Chains A and B, each alone.
Chain A
Amino acid sequence: MDRPAIGMPATATPSVVLRGVGTRYPGGVTALEPLSLTIPAGQFVALVGASGAGKSTLLRTLNGLVPATSGEVVIDGITLSRSTLRAIRARTGMIFQQFNLVGRLNVMTNVLTGRLSHRRGLASLFHRFPREDFDIAHEALDRVGLTDKAWERADRLSGGQQQRVGIARALAQQPRLILADEPVASLDPGTSIEILDLLAAINRRDGVTIVVSLHQPGYVRRYADRVIGLKRGALAFDGPPEAMDDAMLATLYGADAAATSGRGDVGADA
């Protein structure tokens, strides 16, 4: 039985369970060595590691954008497979470094794409949605403070605004889990804080599990409940942010990076 029994509190089911999950790209690159871990519902997890360590791969493995080549991914008690892929993606939001919005469509339509997994009819293909979906999208836009931009083309917005549209799209999915791949790497420090505050609020208020890859130790310490460190595709660290010391950073990033970690929250990523 994959699903929790009726009446059982949802929080009892862990948000993410990985059992020996490894990923190898078609070219032959092993991006992820088999690893196992459990993320309880409602946790704010920071994923850290040097460039190429496998952070993006791990996040994409969680919603099947990259298929795991070994092991088992279980999201909210449902094992990821071809047949459950859509259902899992439907309740899993994803936020990208480059926002990945459809620039030529307006903000509202971009947010409404979050409803697509619930609308399989012909109408959705012609960009028609029921009233209910507009309400959900409106609500999501309101959360990120962009209601007034609803009819603007997405590519006319600033980077920070586009990322907030990305968050609104994820919210419109009414997600149980949000995956964020370096959501603030293309943004200035002030905007980065706004975006991470939004994610933190979604985590606290709505109890949505959040897994976010971050390059700046300062942000990790400020927002995360738990830190997972990857090194060359293998699990190298798993613990609370307080345990993230210079020695650990040195193992993950090399000695130079650790030395500058004190002011790592400002513009660490070029």
Chain B
Amino acid sequence: MSRTPLPARPRGLFPVWLTGILALAWLAAYDLELSPETLLYGIDDMAEYFGRYAAPDFRELPRYLVLVGQTLATAFWGTVIALVVALVVAPFAARPVTSGRIGHRVAREGLNVIRAVPDMLLALVFVAALGLGPLPGALALGLHTGGFMGKFCAESMERVDPGLYEALAATGATRAQTAMYVAWPSIVRELAGYTLFIFDRNVRMASVLGLVGAGGIGFALHDTLRLFDYPRSAALIIVLVVTIAIIDMVSSWLRARLTPEGSRS
């Protein structure tokens, strides 16, 4: 029985990629002077170290809860600011909606820039300008995540069936009218999803903005850790974990309602 010979096997690039990435990682580890011993040594220390968190001290719980409230409020304000930024900028950044080329470019690049600057840096700047407290944090979060929100919305608007835009353009509608009657209504569902995502992210971020003096629970945690006050640190971490877990649950519950009849795709 003679068989038809197999055709030549095409060469995939996967092994090349894999080797390349592993080599890079190895070089990086070498350059950072990481070694397995450091880590193992560390693990030994860490077991002892984490033991110090074993007795959380909840005596100041009321104050912590106020800090949680402040953190959530910061995240909420940040999210609303991001929404406002997106509402204004996204239509300009979406090709089918925008009119001028220059406007489009400026909007796109503007969103890119505010996305690229870390919100911690923004927070530092705002703290310098406004003084300590959660307000500069909210502004920093809002501006930075406005960049994400604007980009997401613009991309969603570009995915809308072009026929819808054509139909409205055929009636002689202005660009602004197109944005209000086609672009935004078509992406309401996505917008809600993005808002949840951004709020989620902002809660996490707001909880660490305190490190640069922008209020919230992170401020307190930074202090207690600096003073090696492990019981209070443990309590703060637990409060934070519970808060984030609750936000997580609420947002995934909301998200589940947003998806039409459970159809995922």
Task: Please report A residues at the B interface, Cβ cutoff 8 Å.
Answer: 138-139, 142, 147-148, 150-151
A138 vs B7: C-alpha distance when bound (angstroms): 11
B13 within 8 A of A: no
Task: Please report B residues at the A interface, Cβ cutoff 8 Å.
Answer: 3-7, 9-10
Q: Are A147 and B9 in contact (CB under 8 A)?
A: no
Given contacts A151-B9, A151-B10, whether A139 and B4 have CB atoms under 8 Å apart is no
Closest chain B CB from A202 CB (angstroms):
15
B7 / chain A contacts, CB cutoff of 8 Å: 147-148, 150-151
Q: Are A142 and B9 in contact (CB under 8 A)?
A: no
A147 / chain B contacts, CB cutoff of 8 Å: 3-7
A56 vs B9: C-alpha distance when bound (angstroms): 37
Query: Can you give 7 contacting A-B residue pairs, CB < 8 Å?
Result: A138-B6, A142-B3, A147-B3, A147-B4, A147-B5, A150-B6, A151-B7
Looking across the interface, which residue of chain B has its beta carbon closest to that of A148? B7
A151 / chain B contacts, CB cutoff of 8 Å: 7, 9-10
B10 / chain A contacts, CB cutoff of 8 Å: 151
Q: Are B9 and A138 in contact (CB under 8 A)?
A: no
A147 vs B9: C-alpha distance when bound (angstroms): 12
Q: Are B9 and A148 in contact (CB under 8 A)?
A: no
Closest chain B CB from A25 CB (angstroms):
22
For the complex with contacts A138-B3, A147-B5, A148-B4, 15 further pairs of A-B residues with Cβ separation under 8 Å are: A138-B6, A139-B3, A142-B3, A142-B4, A147-B3, A147-B4, A147-B6, A147-B7, A148-B7, A150-B6, A150-B7, A150-B9, A151-B7, A151-B9, A151-B10
A138 / chain B contacts, CB cutoff of 8 Å: 3, 6
A122 vs B3: C-alpha distance when bound (angstroms): 30
A139 vs B2: C-alpha distance when bound (angstroms): 9
B3 / chain A contacts, CB cutoff of 8 Å: 138-139, 142, 147
A139 / chain B contacts, CB cutoff of 8 Å: 3
Closest chain B CB from A106 CB (angstroms):
9
Looking across the interface, which residue of chain A has its beta carbon closest to that of B2? A142
Looking across the interface, which residue of chain A has its beta carbon closest to that of B9? A151
A150 vs B4: C-alpha distance when bound (angstroms): 11
Looking across the interface, which residue of chain A has its beta carbon closest to that of B3? A142
A199 vs B3: C-alpha distance when bound (angstroms): 20
A150 vs B9: C-alpha distance when bound (angstroms): 8
A148 / chain B contacts, CB cutoff of 8 Å: 4, 7
A206 vs B78: C-alpha distance when bound (angstroms): 72
Looking across the interface, which residue of chain B has its beta carbon closest to that of A150? B6
Looking across the interface, which residue of chain A has its beta carbon closest to that of B8? A151
A151 vs B7: C-alpha distance when bound (angstroms): 8
A142 / chain B contacts, CB cutoff of 8 Å: 3-4
Closest chain B CB from A112 CB (angstroms):
13
Looking across the interface, which residue of chain B has its beta carbon closest to that of A142? B3
A188 vs B9: C-alpha distance when bound (angstroms): 31
Closest chain B CB from A104 CB (angstroms):
13
Among all A-B residue pairs, the 8 with the closest Cβ atoms: A147-B4, A142-B3, A150-B6, A151-B10, A151-B9, A142-B4, A148-B7, A138-B6
Looking across the interface, which residue of chain B has its beta carbon closest to that of A143? B3
Closest chain B CB from A172 CB (angstroms):
14
A148 vs B8: C-alpha distance when bound (angstroms): 9
A218 vs B169: C-alpha distance when bound (angstroms): 57
B4 / chain A contacts, CB cutoff of 8 Å: 142, 147-148
Closest chain A CB from B243 CB (angstroms):
39
Closest chain B CB from A127 CB (angstroms):
11
A252 vs B6: C-alpha distance when bound (angstroms): 47
A151 vs B10: C-alpha distance when bound (angstroms): 7
Closest chain B CB from A76 CB (angstroms):
26
Closest chain A CB from B4 CB (angstroms):
4
A150 vs B7: C-alpha distance when bound (angstroms): 7
A147 vs B2: C-alpha distance when bound (angstroms): 12
A150 vs B8: C-alpha distance when bound (angstroms): 9
Closest chain B CB from A264 CB (angstroms):
36
Closest chain A CB from B18 CB (angstroms):
12
A142 vs B2: C-alpha distance when bound (angstroms): 10
B5 / chain A contacts, CB cutoff of 8 Å: 147
Looking across the interface, which residue of chain A has its beta carbon closest to that of B10? A151
Closest chain B CB from A246 CB (angstroms):
44
A138 vs B2: C-alpha distance when bound (angstroms): 11
A148 vs B6: C-alpha distance when bound (angstroms): 6
